Amino acid sequence: MPTYEHRCDTCKHEWEDTYSIKADPPKECPECKAETVTRLISGAPRGVVELYGQDLVDKIKADAKKTKADAAKDEKIYANLLGEDRYQSMQTQMDQRKRERR
């Protein structure tokens, strides 16, 4: 017999039941006895997506592009990506160049 996952819409309790495919699904939550039960789609992990091959490469490139754009907008993110010491060193060099131009 197949195993089905269920969730109560009222108390959010989740449980599994094993019953025939011809049988009616449960209508009552075993925790709160509310009649707001939803049968979930099982078999796929919730919230986890595994990428392989070109899909993974595309995702990494898109994430890098987004991170680069975020770093260009926010100085704190840029400093965090570079590391505190390197960021301070770069800022010092830039300040020295500005002074030399004057």
Domain ranges of the chain: 3-40, 53-101
Query: Over the Cα atoms of the chain, what is R_g?
Result: 27
| CA distances for 35 relative to 27, 46, 102, angstroms | 5, 24, 77
In this prediction, residue 97 carries a pLDDT of 92
Phi-psi region of 92 (alpha: psi -120 to 50; beta: other; left: phi over 0): alpha
Q: What is the pLDDT of residue 49?
A: 73
Pairwise CA distance, residues 26 & 39, whole Å: 9
Can you list the residues of the chain whose pLDDT is less than 70? 42-48
Instruction: Write the CB contacts of 55 (distance below 8 Å, at least 6 apart in sequence).
Output: none
The pLDDT assigned to 19 comes to 86
Q: How far apart are CA 6 and CA 29, in angstroms?
A: 9
pTM of the model: 0.41
CA dist., res. 11 & res. 37, Å (int): 10
Rounded CA gap, 61 and 55, in Å?
Answer: 10
The reported pLDDT for the residue numbered 93 is 93
Per-residue pLDDT at 64: 93
